[in-house]
Amino acid sequence: MIRRVTLLFALFCLGAVPLAAQVTDTTLPIPLTLAQAMQLGRDRAVSAALARLNARVADARIGERRADLLPTLNGGATWSRQRMNLDEFGIAEFTGVTDPFSIWRLTLEGSQTIFDASALTRVSAARDSAIAAGLDARAAGNLAATSAGVAYLRYAAALETVQARQADSTIAASLYQQARDLLDAGVSAAIDATRSQVAFAAVLTDLELARNQRDRARLELTRSLSLPPTVTLVLSDSVASIATDIPADPDSAVAYALGHRAELAAEAARTRAVSRSLTAVRREQLPSIGAQGAVQETGPGPDRLSGIWHLEVGVRVPLLDGFRRQRRIEEQSLRLDVQRLRQSDLANRVATEVRSALLDLSSAREQVKLAGTRLGLAEQELDQARQRFAAGVAGTVETSNAQSSVVAARNGLIQAHAALGTAEVGAMQAVGLLNSEH
């Protein structure tokens, strides 16, 4: 089941790729599905982009650590003019002050680490840190996708709320006209027409408020997608069109999340990096082997240069550094304990998030069923109230109350569908079904 959901979401992501070309022209309406909105949020959100840049910075640090194991070369050229006092050397055969003379020197020197256990381990630690940064970027992308999905659902709910208020205004106008007709026929009191007119005005007020909420929800969605606020979005999915197979069994869902949540994988990589850093400090106490040498061309003039060179291979054995290394080992051991505690706490938090998400999902599904039943009953009540009013056995109090019940029931159903979609998106995020490899 989980594999099928993951494959379905991957296919949605692949289908969203061509949309990147459409967002460059903001003068045209952009059709947008929920899956496409989530993919755009992953690709374009500022938080996700910053996390990807941080991952690239971590990759660059690997090269910095690897440089400690690679050769170093330096070149130089000098010219000097000098006189020397030979008496200062104390050699009887050479006395007096020399005439001024020039020295030209061309130098090429280099060094190479042959073996350094600490440096090798630091490269591995940097690699683990880069892996953690990459997983952090993936987790940030998942959160951005979740935020975009929730914003999409809110906008879809706002659009449907406007449609519902328009339908309510049509009904209110019909009831008002019915009350006026009965008043003109002399079978109804003027108060009934007034009540209907008040109800009609209230529905028009609700319609204006719904339009304002729709426009604000659209701005929220464009912001989550990092699109200009003037872009026109045409939603292809409604709040009731989401269908996902999220595992219902909490234990299997938690087990899947522990193996697929990018945050957990990032913390595990960070733990390995801290552990390797501790090992690297300890290995600083081991001998290291290196080689260095230089080639020189020296002489009194550019046309009278002679070559010299030297090469040495040595072993460096650390003996004592004021016990600074021991204190660093102690500090790094404590850092490792802290990181392990963070990893354990995150695993517990993920398990709690998964179980909470499944509870919210189950509750949201039941709310949709109850809201559908409530709307059906409210529409039935309104139909009966209109019939009683037309027959002259009831006033507009019944029709107004029935219409209010329909308005509230429609709102409840729209919000229940939106809550269900939000719960499904949140559950996919909690279980780890939103992971992306790019």
DSSP string for 303-368: TS-EEEEEEEEEEE----STTHHHHHHHHHHHHHHHHHHHHHHHHHHHHHHHHHHHHHHHHHHHHH
**Looking at per-residue confidence, does 269 or 246 come out higher?**
269
Identify the pLDDT of residue 176: 83
Please list, in sequence order, all residues whose beta carbon lies within 8 angstroms of the beta carbon of residue 346, skipping any fewer than 6 positions away. Answer: 263, 264, 267
Specify whether the CB–CB gap between 213 and 421 falls below 8 A: no
pLDDT at 192 over 60: yes
Q: What is the DSSP letter of 247?
A: -
Cα dihedral value 151, 152, 153, 155, nearest 10: 90
Rounded Cα distance between 119 and 70, Å, is 11
For residue range 305-332, list pLDDT tens digits in order: 889 999 999 999 998 888 999 999 999 9
Q: Is the pLDDT of residue 2 over 50?
A: no
pLDDT at 333: 95
pLDDT classification of 19: cutoffs 50, 70, 90 = low
- 236 is written with which tokens? 């292809």
- 73-82, 128-137, 185-194, 367-376: range with lowest mean pLDDT: 185-194
Strand (E) positions, 116-193? none
Which domains can be identified in the chain, with CATH numbers?
Answer: 2-81+103-431 (1.20.1600.10)
What number is the average pLDDT over the span 7-32?
A: 54
Alpha carbon distance 342, 334 (integer Å) = 12
Band of the pLDDT at 96, cuts 50, 70, 90? confident
CA 331 to CA 251: how far, in whole Å? 38
Choose among 351, 155, 387, 366: nearest CA to 263: 351
Dump pLDDT digits (tens) for 250-259: 999 999 999 9
**Lowest mean pLDDT segment, chosen from 66-70, 367-371, 433-437:** 433-437
β-pairing verdict for 306-316 and 288-299: antiparallel
Nearest to 195 by CA among 426, 430, 412, 385: 385
Pull the structure tokens for residue 124: 């591995």
Q: What is the mean pLDDT of residues 130-151?
A: 93
Element (H, E) at 106: strand 101-115
Residue 205 pLDDT? 92
Q: Which of 83-97, 212-226, 293-307, 341-355 is least confident?
A: 83-97
Q: Tell me what the mean pLDDT of segment 169-192 comes to.
A: 81
pTM of the model: 0.79
H or E segment at 58?
helix 46-66
Burial track 288-318 (b if 16+ CB lie within 10 A, e otherwise) = beeebebebbeeeeeeeeeeeeeeeeeeeee
Structure tokens at 198: 């008040």
Determine contact, residues 399/385, Cβ cutoff 8 Å: yes
pLDDT at residue number 13: 46
Q: Which residues of 59-79 are buried (b: 16+ CB within 10 A; e: fewer)?
A: bebbeebeeeeeeeeeeeeee
Mean pLDDT estimate for the chain: 87
Query: Per-residue pLDDT for 345 more than 90?
Result: yes
Label residue 354 by pLDDT band (50, 70, 90). very high
DSSP annotation of 85 reads B
Q: With CA atoms as reference, report the closest residue to 281 among 319, 335, 326.
A: 326
How many residues are given for the chain? 438
- Average pLDDT for 246-252: 86
Plot region of 403 (φ>0 → left; ψ -120 to 50 → alpha; else → beta): alpha
* Range with lowest mean pLDDT among 33-47, 48-62, 88-102: 88-102
